[in-house]
Amino acid sequence: MIQAGRINITPKANMPTTKHLTFPKPFKEQAIVSLTPVSGVPGQKVLGVGTLNNTSEGCDVVLTRTETTETVVAWIAIGPAK
């Protein structure tokens, strides 16, 4: 099964900021999640994105940015259907 979407994060400047993402439908097991910041300044102002605490139902998305600009992070999750 493949699911995709977007999550908005307003980060603290120069600090990893976490927001929980709940998948629309749970997977049978832990999903593989890929993230892409929707930004024209990756590597300059957007320093990185990643995930923590991945489960079959969701994950925590982590964004680090040099400023407090709200940032859209596009995600895709892949795993076996429940």
> Which residue would you say has higher pLDDT here, 1 or 41?
1
- Rounded to two decimals, what is the model's pTM? 0.92
21 neighbors 63 (Cβ within 8 angstroms): no
pLDDT confidence bin for 82, thresholds 50/70/90: confident
pLDDT confidence bin for 76, thresholds 50/70/90: very high
Rounded average pLDDT over 3-10:
98
Q: Which tokens go with 38?
A: 């929707």
Q: How many whole angstroms separate alpha carbon 33 and alpha carbon 21? A: 11
Q: What is the domain-level CATH number for residue 59? A: 2.60.40.2080
pLDDT of residue 43: 79
Which range marks the domain in which residue 64 is found?
A: 2-78
Task: Give the end-to-end CA distance of the chain in Å, rounded to a whole number.
Answer: 9
Beta bridge partners of residue 15, listed in sequence order: none
Could you give the number of structural domains in the chain? 1
